[in-house]
Amino acid sequence: MSNEIDHAWVEVLQRCDLQVVEECAVDALPVNSAIYAVNGVGVEPVASIPFSSPEAMGELSRVWHARSTGLPLYDQEGRFLLMPPGAGGSKVGWVKVRDRTGTGLPSRIASVTGSPEFMALSLDGRRICAVSIEDYEYWVIVHEFT
């Protein structure tokens, strides 16, 4: 596999208006722990938005931003960890990014990948704020590791 294919996720993140600060955050939470925290049995969303809701994507983006800001997920410079959205993101692992826009992240990700699903992690590895698709709803999931 060529280096260009290996790093296709970098272009995806750039198109989402995310700046890659560090390609491999090796000290971060294990990817499988995050996946289980977001997709495991008994996971409940902090918010759900029906697909049929008028302005569903805008509402999803507003709710995600409010929840991620309240955790807090971002540091003072707008940096956080993100598993690249789309196929192969879990193989890449956590990437330190800076959000250059500051709003509408789920909408931006959906416009690039076709789906708003993604997982974001605070730099200290303790707080996840994710978007998942379940049945006919978008879910915002928050998990804090103690």
pLDDT tens for each residue of 89-133: 888 889 999 998 889 999 999 999 999 999 999 999 899 999 999
The partner residues of 81 in beta bridges, in order of sequence, read 96, 121
Q: What domain range is 67 assigned to?
A: 3-144
pLDDT at res. 6 = 62
* Backbone φ, ψ for residue 128 (5° rounding): -115, 140
Higher-confidence residue of 25 and 106: namely 106
* 142/125 Cα distance (integer angstroms): 13
Q: 């959000």: which residue's tokens? A: 99
Mean pLDDT within 41-60: 93
Q: Using the predicted structure, report yes or no on whether residue 3 has a pLDDT greater than 70.
A: no
**In the predicted model, is pLDDT for residue 4 greater than 60?**
no
Split into its structural domains, the chain has a count of 1
- Of 17-26, 38-47, 87-96, the one with minimum mean pLDDT is 17-26
3-state secondary structure of 143: strand
Quote the pLDDT of residue 20: 93
Going 78 to 143 to 30 to 9, the CA torsion angle's sign is negative
